A and B are shown apart, each in its own frame.
Chain A
Amino acid sequence: MNVAEIIAQRRLAPSVPLRLLSALGAVIAALAVAPLLGMPQFVQALIIEILIFSLLALSLNVLLGYTGLVSFGHAAFFAISGYAVGIVGMHVGSDILLTFPLAVLAAALCAVPIGWLSIRLSGFYFLMITFAFAQIVFVASFRWKPVTGGSDGLLVPGATLLGAPILGSREAFYYFVLAVFAICAAVLYAVVISRFGRTLVGIRESTPRMRALGYNVRRYKLAAFVIGAAFGGVAGVLNSLFNLFIAPESAHWTQSALVLVMVLIGGAGYFVGPIIGAAIVLLLQHWLSSYTEYWGLVLGILFIVLITGAREGVAGLVMQGWARMRGKVP
């Protein structure tokens, strides 16, 4: 085969990304229809939670799965934007057109210096410095009582739009979260399949090679860090508006660890992996916690089984199974 034939063949090949996008679109459409068919409110609440944490895990996956940076402090940005919504809402105004962008901007702006310092390190050291920054955010939220409410937490005013309260009902909030999730997931998807996303994968696979190929690796890592933080910030805004409350625990290392576990269980580096992981962890938590307070033990065992038996997580298992069925794996 010559070059022209191979190019033509490649262009005709089925596009996996489009298939994936269609599947995600179908799930979102089903979730949009579900309340009309009588989905109970507690299920709506559970799905809201899954969507919020899916978004947080998706944002971490930009770093972990695509760039190969294991952040142990991602919850910091979740908390920063969560507090920003509350603080702006209390002192400036609760209009969502003000609080939402300001809170996301706060997370992204904080990510610039934190990322600038952190990306100078790699591997275990990167993990530790992100952990340290998250602990700083945790301690600040815990101790800075006049602003954050300290250990009592902060009541977050309900969202308004042009002076009128909005998102007051569970159903309205459900659709709001679903829409924000769909938009953010689509944007993140566009990011990871773009040349920029490919570059991040290259950095993950071989940083020395990417440097030798003319890529300013630090600039790309910083961009990935800030993008991850911004979308983590969106999740933080949704979380605060959903609970109408934010507490220092949002920035605690256990929160960062939980999101990390979600990404790893679902499959780091697979776009849908974090969504699967968030759903598994939260469903297990809700289901098992009604039987035992030791639900974390079961989650821990599941994590050990998956990490030792299927390092690419549930999404990796599914993809490998699919490839075997199609005879693409020797």
Chain B
Amino acid sequence: MAAVRASRISKSYGAFVALKDVDLLVAPGERRAIIGPNGAGKTTLFSIIAGQKQPTSGTISINGSETTGARPDQLWARGLSRTFQRNQLFQNLTVWENVELACSAHYRGFSTSVSRDALEEEIGGILERVNLLGSHDVRVANMAYGGQRQLELALALAGRPKILLLDEPTAGMSPAETQAMLKMMIALPRDMTILIVEHDMDVVFSLADRVMVLNLGEVLADGTVQEIQNDKNVSEIYMGKAL
């Protein structure tokens, strides 16, 4: 049973076709990257899988159940979490409060001392995992950009995901911050399925098991890291650069 299956996904905006008959099959525990030049349809496909956009045609399944048209909160209940390309954080709250809000989705109802202890332990654990424990009381609006990207990851992890969608997690980061983020992503549990859209090829090839290449809304190539690195068509669309 596939963790994520997209079957013949198409998406049109009037006459413009953003995606055309895209198929994607991600096995449980697999780390799959989606790459392609700007306008290839990566973010559109990502948003359709995450429930933020509806496909014009085609179906999406998560862990064997069809989820086409499901809302993001319904997908969350099926174990799907995501990060955003542009930070979607609670700017006026502290780092701790951000993660608390994210974790609280698992602790609805009246607060008890047992649930409070468990919640605090979970928040602390997540912040430790993304190296933000030391900044727990910093207001997000006062944080450096790199820290905010780490918090993006923390909020997604607070969903206790079985499937994690990472939308350009290292976008805008310095090389050092990118390396730190890559380390965190590599350290994620191997049974967690990861789908990542990323422009940084070093990150893609260090993290992914398989890579799908989109170009002009269609699948150009799909294979292992090595197969993609040796694919001439893929090299061509990256302006002749060797991958």
A326 sits at the interface (CB 8 A):
no
- Which residue in A3, A198, A205 is a CB contact (below 8 Å) of B121? A3
A10 sits at the interface (CB 8 A):
yes
The reply to whether A214 and B77 form a contact with Cβ atoms under 8 Å apart is yes
Q: Which A residues, 26 to 65, have Cβ-Cβ distances below 8 Å to chain B?
A: none
Given A209-B88, A209-B90, are A214 and B82 neighbors across the interface (CB < 8 Å)? no
The reply to whether B92 and A205 form a contact with Cβ atoms under 8 Å apart is yes
The reply to whether B72 and A206 form a contact with Cβ atoms under 8 Å apart is no
A189 sits at the interface (CB 8 A):
no
Chain A residues positioned under 8 Å from B134 (CB to CB): 1
The reply to whether A195 and B81 form a contact with Cβ atoms under 8 Å apart is no
The reply to whether A208 and B52 form a contact with Cβ atoms under 8 Å apart is yes
Chain A residues positioned under 8 Å from B97 (CB to CB): 198
The reply to whether B155 and A213 form a contact with Cβ atoms under 8 Å apart is yes
Binds A, one of B13-21, B58-66, B104-112: B104-112
Chain B min CB distance to A3 (Å): 3
The reply to whether A215 and B89 form a contact with Cβ atoms under 8 Å apart is no
B124 sits at the interface (CB 8 A):
yes
Chain B residues positioned under 8 Å from A330 (CB to CB): 142
The reply to whether A195 and B108 form a contact with Cβ atoms under 8 Å apart is yes
A211 sits at the interface (CB 8 A):
yes
Binary per-residue interface labels of chain A (1-33) against chain B in the complex, 1 for a CB within 8 Å, 0 otherwise: 111101100100000000000000000000000
The reply to whether B93 and A201 form a contact with Cβ atoms under 8 Å apart is yes
Given A7-B124, A214-B77, are A205 and B93 neighbors across the interface (CB < 8 Å)? yes
Chain A residues positioned under 8 Å from B90 (CB to CB): 201-202, 205-206, 209
The reply to whether B73 and A211 form a contact with Cβ atoms under 8 Å apart is yes
A92 sits at the interface (CB 8 A):
no
Bound complex: CA A2 to CA B159 (Å): 22
B163 sits at the interface (CB 8 A):
no
Bound complex: CA A209 to CA B89 (Å): 7
B91 sits at the interface (CB 8 A):
yes
Given A1-B134, A195-B108, A202-B101, are A214 and B159 neighbors across the interface (CB < 8 Å)? yes
The reply to whether A212 and B88 form a contact with Cβ atoms under 8 Å apart is yes
Chain B residues positioned under 8 Å from A212 (CB to CB): 50, 72-73, 76, 81-82, 84, 88, 156, 159
Q: Which residues of A contact B (CB under 8 A)?
A: 1-4, 6-7, 10, 195, 198-199, 201-202, 205-206, 208-209, 211-217, 330
Q: Sample 22 A-B pairs with CB under 8 A, ordered by A number.
A: A1-B133, A1-B134, A3-B124, A4-B124, A7-B120, A7-B121, A198-B100, A201-B90, A201-B92, A201-B93, A201-B101, A202-B90, A205-B91, A205-B92, A205-B93, A206-B89, A206-B90, A211-B73, A212-B72, A212-B82, A214-B77, A215-B105
